[in-house]
Structure 1
Amino acid sequence: MSTSHLQGASSGSSDSKAVRRVVVASSIGTVVEWYDFALYGAASALIFAPLFFPEQGGIGGTLASFAVFAVAFFVRPLGGLIAAHIGDKIGRKPVLIATVTLMGAATVAVGLLPTYAQIGIWAPILLVFSRLLQGLGAGAEFAGAVTAVAEYTPEKHRGFYTSFAQASVGLAITLSTGVFALLALMPRDILLAWAWRIPFLASAVLFLVAVYIRRRIEETPEFVKVQNKAETAGKPERVPLFTAIKESPRALIIGILCGSGLNVFGYLVNTFALSYMVNTLKVPALIGTLGVVAAAGSSIFTIPFFGRLSDRVGRRPVFIGGAIFSALFVFPFFLLLGTREPWLIVMAMALAYGIGQGAMLGAQSAFLSELFPTRYRFTAIAASREVNAMALGGTTPFIATALVSAAGGSPWMVVVFVLTCLAVTIGALAASKSVKSPAPQTALQEA
């Protein structure tokens, strides 16, 4: 990429119109990513077991379905590091277009898959393959979105603007789970026969819109300046990951560990809780899905609020505050679910995700973006998020389901598991006080 090209790309990119455009472009890509993942999570809890794993039956089918849910998370770090490597070397924009295209195509493919009754063992095999493609695309999606927005916005507004990518997760979960709430009103035989395919096929609209919008954004000003300097000096970044490990090992470890409680608590609420209510508590699926919609819907508003708050009081206090609230609320959360009262379930889900998860998500994006300099920011954020997501995010529904089964239907072992992971998050954030984060001015001075 030539210097002149980069300079042309950067012209006028610092104005408010460009900022709004990149925020919208990043957010809609995140909607596609999490619509895909939340859609599969809801389907895993409600319908995939009889469609793709009928021979497992009962808890075995649910575990098999959640195991495939976890598969995508194991390839997310690989997809994230490959795409982020390209993003740190040639630009953020082409990667943002490629990742959303791959994710969207994979999700539509799930809606076209034949079931076990139609082709036998090939059905779950094709489902796994589709999930692998989703994971490869999703691995760099969020890191790219956060990086692009962070490099367009000043420090005093960075928490607020980067929080929109996180709030888009809530919108995506609301859309996907809301669709399943409507589908749950259908007769079970119609749902399993063909209606389950509708939300997967409908994602084509979202992903085409996302591609169109992302093609219209320009490269980020910070990346342009750093790349221009590297070309002038004849020293382009060879392997951004190696540079990040060499220059910022402590920041990388903190970046990875700080997501532990966030990932576990988030997937506990938006994925496992639905299965727990339906399969263990025997709560109607409609009530469970409405609870997830309330949880995700509340976060659409609370995440930007906490993002703005992090601009005023700092990233760490807001992040730690969310982790502490989540730790205090996790046991009452299960008590409220156990009442089987619809309004208490909806309230529990909304409080857990809207406040606890909302505060952590509201601060996380700006926190991670400010841990690393521009030269390898994309790669470092991708590594930080996806390594932890692989270990704890996708596996949480599976682990929690197994723990409830081992405890005879009681959630106490799950509570201990969640508290442990939240303690890791708090410890990592406390340790981050000694890490020198590159300020926006410093990042720009790299150029």
Structure 2
Amino acid sequence: MNTTHTVTPELEGLSPEDQAYRMRRAKKAGLSAFLGGTLEYYDFFVYATAASLIFPHIFFPDGGENDVMTLVASFGTLGVAYVARPFGAVFFGHLGDRVGRKTILLATLVLMGVATFIIGLLPTYDQIGIWAPILLVVLRLAQGMSAGAEIAGASALSTEEAPVGLRGFFPSLSMSGIAAGIVLASLAFLPVSAMSEADRLSWGWRLPFLASILVLAVAWFVRRTLEEPEDFQEAKREMDSAEEKPKAPFLVMIKTHPIQFIQISILSIQAVTNTLMQAYGLAYATSIGIPASTMLWVTIMGNVVAIFTTPAAAFLSDRIGRKPTFLIGSALTAVMIWVYFIAISTQNVPLIFIASTAILGGTYVMSNGVYPSWFSELFNVKVRYTGVAVGLQVGIMLSGFTPMIAAALVGGTPANWGPAAWLVSGSLILVTLVAMTTRETYRTPLAELGNPVSYTEIAAGLHHGSRR
């Protein structure tokens, strides 16, 4: 999948030097998206793993015989970040569409990395009582604010930098970065899981959180060299020269792209697959006797494969379209999740590896690898960051609480895993139906993406030009 000599319609007519320059910009944007995704999901999965294995023991009072409620409380702190994500999407999305993509992507990067590092320094419940879970929730909210805008911003920027014919490929690198982040987090927890329980609960759990500062440093170094996309710069000049300044991008987006906003809010629920497998799947498997180290290796294998298959699926969508690729992936995942839970409930380790890898590295990437470009392509450049960020987080917020809901529904009865599978399968059936109604965009020129947005007309309240 070498893009070095690819000449797409938007590059035709340019000199070889200009073509090379444009491609370098696209590759740098893709690398930035990859590293941002790596940091975000390294932090996310370190937290999800700790919420499954560590936090119920050190950040909450002893649940005695009611271990299920302690686990539910721990997963509740995982879920609160998803409540913060829409607020982060509105706040940072507004700034991203007004100030610029690069500046806000630097801000979200630092917020995520620093919050994760500080979690690794927190005192426990035994040391400061109720303040321990309170501080944990505050930092988790900060992570949620950052995550609410990170992927949307990286997707918008890399979509705007990529030429037609590669607009699926480059934004998907953020999803490859997510897979890489999960692999790094799993590897970081392997030595922790091998420690004695006393060492693991006293200091060992802190190491993966403190190590996040290294990922932050690398991502910052690359991201600070980015440039603003030309398409966005032109839109910003129009905004700055408008006699009547437009309303907040969120209000403009709702007025001009209401259907697209509703569509991606529902389509983004596809993230329930990853959230439930990585958090609740781990907790469920260990509760019935499968070693945590085994499940970590299951996660590592699936996500190592996903690092490579995600851009391959996105590249496929550059050839056959966003919609068919997304539809096939979500429909197949709705079926495969049942195989995954059957494998865990029967403690069939080889089948667990096969099912998890088939989902994480196969069916799931067909939808997950396509959405960064597809969602971005549904919006006009003037409201793209806001539209993708807010719409994405509305759906993802719902998926954030599924581990807690699954833990409550399944309870202490391992054989009662059906509700957990239905949470994923039912959500994906809805996603598949909505995907059928969504506009195909893979061949649309960059300047024609989304619905028309005139700052002058919007400010005057006269804009009626939405295409649906």
- Report the TM-score, using the length of structure 1 for normalisation: 0.93
Shift of 1:79: 0.9
Aligned counterpart, 1:108:
117
Matched letter for residue 354 of structure 1: G
The answer to whether structure 1 residue 419 and structure 2 residue 425 are counterparts is yes
Runs (5+) with no aligned partner, structure 1: 1-10
In structure 2, give the amino acid aligned to 1:142.
I
Is contact 1:407-1:413 (8 Å) kept? no
Partner of 1:7: none
Instruction: Kindly state the Cα deviation for residue 56 of structure 1 after the two structures are TM-superposed.
Output: 2.4
- Supply the distance in 1 between the matched residues of 2:443 and 2:237 (Cα, whole angstroms): 23
CA-CA distance at 1:437 after TM superposition? 9.9
Instruction: Report the Cα offset of residue 182 of structure 1.
Output: 2.3
Amino acid aligned to 1:264? V
Partner of 1:442: 448
1:16-95 matches, within 5 Å, as: 16-57=23-64, 58-95=67-104
2:14 paired residue number: none
1:350 to 357, 372, 377: 357
Q: What is aligned with 2:407?
A: 401
The structure 1 residue matched to 2:277, chosen from 244, 251, 269, is 269
Q: What do residues 292-321 of structure 1 show as CA deviations (whole Å, max 9, x unaligned)? A: 112222211111110000000000101010
Query: What secondary structure sits across from 2:166 in the alignment?
Result: helix
The alpha carbon displacement at 1:87 in A equals 0.6
CA apart distance, 1:187: 1.3
Cα distance change of structure 1 residues 21 and 436 upon mapping to structure 2, 3 Å threshold: closer
One-letter amino acid matched to 1:278: T
Contact 1:13 1:221 (8 Å CA) reproduced: no
Distance 1:366 1:163 in 2: 7
Letter in 2 for 1:332: V
Q: How does 1:372-411 map to 2 (within 5 A)?
A: 372-391=379-398, 393-405=399-411, 409-411=415-417
1:152-191 → structure 2 map (5 Å cutoff): 152-191=161-200
User: What is the distance in 2 between the residues matched to 1:446 and 1:123?
Assistant: 47
CA shift at 1:232, angstroms?
3.5
Deviation of the 1:163 alpha carbon: 0.7
1:13 and 1:375 map into 2 onto residues whose CA distance is 27
Is contact 2:78–2:400 with CA below 8 Å preserved after alignment? yes
Give the share of equivalent positions with the same residue, in percent: 33
CA distance 1:295–1:43, change in 2 (3 Å):
same
1:195 to 198, 204, 211: 204
Structure 1, residues 102-139: CA drift from partner, whole Å, max 9, x if none?
11110001000001111111111111111011111111
Match of 1:296 in 2: 303
Q: 1 or 2, which has the higher helix percentage?
A: 1
> For 1:337 and 1:373, how far apart are their aligned partners in 2?
44
Structure 1's 213 and 13: CA in aligned 2 closer, same or farther, altered over 3 A? farther
Equivalent residue of 1:156, what SS? coil
The 1-side partners of 2:272 and 2:226 are apart by 34
Distance 1:241 1:347 in 2: 43
- 2:322–2:441 Cα contact (<8 Å) kept: no
Distance in 1 of aligned mates of 2:130 and 2:415: 30
Counterpart-to-counterpart distance in 1, 2:386 and 2:134: 31
User: Do the aligned partners of residues 436 and 247 (structure 1) sit closer, same or farther apart at CA in structure 2, a change above 3 Å counting?
Assistant: farther
Match of 1:319 among 315, 326, 337: 326
In 2: Cα distance, 1:415 partner to 1:67 partner: 19
> How far off its partner does 1:201 sit?
0.5
Aligned residues: 434
Provide the residue aligned with 2:290 in structure 1: 283
Give the aligned residue type for 1:304. P
**3-state SS of paired residue (1:346):** helix
The alpha-carbon deviation at position 80 of structure 1 amounts to 1.3
**Contact preservation (8 Å) 2:30, 2:173:** yes
Alignment of 1:99-138 (within 5 A): 99-138=108-147
Preserved contact between residue 33 and residue 177 of structure 2 (Cα < 8 Å): no
Classify the secondary structure of the residue corresponding to 1:74: helix
**2: CA distance, partners of 1:172 / 1:435:** 29
Q: TM-score, normalised by structure 2?
A: 0.88
Q: How is 1:3-14 mapped onto 2 (pairs within 5 angstroms)?
A: none
Match of 2:437 in 1: 431
Change over 3 Å in CA distance of 1:175–1:94 after alignment to 2: same
Q: Provide closer, same or farther for how the CA distance between residues 160 and 292 of structure 1 changes in structure 2, counting only shifts above 3 A.
A: same
Contact kept, 8 Å, 1:26 with 1:145, in 2: the verdict is yes
Alpha-carbon distance between aligned partners in 1 of 2:429 and 2:315, rounded to the nearest angstrom = 25
Preserved CA contact (<8 Å) 2:106 2:224? yes
Q: Distance in 2 between matches of 1:174 and 1:408?
A: 27
Alignment of 1:170-249 (within 5 A): 170-249=179-258
Alpha-carbon distance between aligned partners in 2 of 1:17 and 1:440, rounded to the nearest angstrom: 18
The alignment partner of 1:175 has SS state of helix
In structure 1, C-alpha distance between the alignment counterparts of 2:226 and 2:19, rounded to whole Å: 11
Answer with 49-58 or 184-193: which moved more: 49-58
Report the CA distance between 1:439 and its aligned residue. 3.8
Q: How far 1:268 sits from its partner (Å)?
A: 1.9
SS for the counterpart of 2:227 is coil
* Rounded Cα–Cα distance in structure 2 between residues aligned with 1:436 and 1:332: 33
State the match for 1:306 in structure 2: 313
Q: Is the 8 A contact 2:329 2:366 kept in 1?
A: yes
5+ unaligned residues in a row in structure 2: which ranges?
Answer: 1-17, 455-468
Cα distance in 2 between the residues matched to 1:429 and 1:400: 25
Deviates more, 1:224-233 or 1:96-105: 224-233
Q: CA RMSD in A?
A: 2.2
Residue 434 of structure 1 deviates from its aligned partner by 8.5
